[in-house]
Amino acid sequence: MVDPSKIPKTGLTGRTIIYDEDGKPCRSCNTLLDFQLATGKIPKNASKVSTETFTEVIFDLIPGSRTYRKVPPPTKEVIGRSSWTLLHAIGAKYPEAPTQIQQDEMSRFMALFMRVYPMDDSSTFNEIQKAFKETRPNVSSYKGFNSWLCNFHNKVNERLKKEKFDTTFWEDRWANGWE
């Protein structure tokens, strides 16, 4: 249980943090920073940029629920972001020296991931499939897998006209955190 005296009322942004009925900070209603503050993950590397007035808006509760709100289904952008978060988090925990079984499992997982991934927009999906086929997963080690995954992610970025990520910073972003 969280000590009630330690629950922050005001976020890093100076705004009141919105909590659900059961005392959980509401992810949709707060900025990511305030949500992280409220859940005890206070971010570093943050700069103040402006002060303003706002009106808070939240989704209605689902009938009969104390905590679940009428959040719309995830957009393809949200599904994409969620997937990269999961894949890089998997990479961050991949063993330095995986067993043959772990290597086989990861190869098969990635291939099936590409089969079941939900995608309406077939032209975008085709681009991602091409990027995947150009560069088969390296599952030989932590370093090999993550280097492959960053390369795959950047190939997708390139095909979707997004900025490439400087892979020098991969471990800061996905595994170890920033200084």
**Within 45-74, which residues bind its own copies (CB under 8 A)?**
45-60, 62, 64-68, 70-74
> Tokens 């509760």, residue?
61
What residues from 73 to 112 belong to the interface with its own copies (CB under 8 A)? 73-75, 77-79, 81-83, 85-86, 88-90, 92-93, 105-106, 108-109, 112
Nearer Cβ to its own copies (34/131): 34
When computed from its CA atoms, the radius of gyration of the chain, rounded to whole angstroms, is 20
- Judged by CB under 8 A, the residue of 19, 113, 125, 142 near its own copies is 113
Q: What is the DSSP letter of 16?
A: B
> Taking the complex as a whole, how short is the minimal distance between the CB of residue 125 and its own copies, in angstroms?
11
Question: Which among 123-131, 146-154, 170-178 is the span making contact with its own copies, rule CB under 8 A?
Answer: 170-178
CB 129 within 8 A of CB 119: no
> Taking the complex as a whole, how short is the minimal distance between the CB of residue 130 and its own copies, in angstroms?
20
| Rounded-to-integer distance, Cα 6 and Cα 18, Å | 15
CA geometry: angle at 82 spanning 68 and 42, to 5°? 75
Structure-block tokens of residue 146:
């993550």
Cβ count within 10 A of residue 159: 14
> Taking the complex as a whole, how short is the minimal distance between the CB of residue 26 and its own copies, in angstroms?
9
HSE-up of 68 (CA within 13 Å, CB side)?
5
Q: Indicate whether 166 belongs to the interface with its own copies (CB under 8 A).
A: yes
> Taking the complex as a whole, how short is the minimal distance between the CB of residue 83 and its own copies, in angstroms?
5
